Amino acid sequence: MTHFTDMIDGYRRFRNGGWQQQRERWDELAVGQSPKVMVIACSDSRVEPSQIFDTNPGEIFVVRNVAALVPPFETTPGRHGVSAALEFAVQFLKVEEIVVMGHGLCGGCHAALHKSMEGAEPGRGGFIADWIAMLDEASEEVRNTHADLDTRDAGRAMEMAAVRVSIDNLRTFPCIQEKERRGTLTLRGAFFAISDGVLHLMDDATGDFSPA
């Protein structure tokens, strides 16, 4: 397993290799960034958007959190990390596309489906429980339609449902509603299957996923 000392070795390889080879690109990025795509992905260490999409530095604006979730628009007091990043990407960077990318074997979605964090105290799973509570409706539907929740079919149904929830929540933001109406912003749902490395894209009209 990689530790921080290994990462420093990796940095030195990057500094002497990739960074030197892309000096012109890094000089451009030192002035600013202008990505056209925002990706909302899971924090899971197995799902790295820049690797999956084979992008270079500065090409995608990425936000990662448990289960790649977007909370609905709300103005209550609090620290709205995802909403702040979303606001920055849409209003200031003026991204043209937002991709919500769920993935297979997602621990957050598994916890939502099995309610394994329910009732936990903060610091012992309670923060996770509060966060994934936005999947309660979706998980109830999956539980009602799958007799065995331990199958991969049930797990994948939950993982894909979570993408739909985040897409729906994105559309509660006034700035996104306005830009979608103008045709200057497109929302996309995606799902990466860790087991076979296949990316699935969501049909916005039906909510169904199919391989890219």
| Helix, strand, coil fractions of the chain, as percent rounded to 5 | 50, 15, 35
What residues does each domain of the chain span? Answer: 1-32, 33-211
Q: What is the pTM of this model?
A: 0.95
Can you give the pLDDT of all 212 residues of the chain as single tens digits?
A: 789 999 999 999 999 998 888 888 899 999 999 999 999 999 999 999 999 999 999 999 999 999 999 999 999 999 999 999 999 999 999 999 999 999 999 999 999 999 999 999 999 999 999 999 999 999 999 999 999 999 999 999 999 999 999 999 999 999 999 999 999 999 999 999 999 999 999 999 999 999 99
Q: The domain 33-211: what is its CATH number? A: 3.40.1050.10
> Two tokens at 199?
């990316």
Q: What is the 3-state secondary structure (H, E, C) of 176-201?
A: HHHHHHHCCCEEEEEEEECCCCEEEE
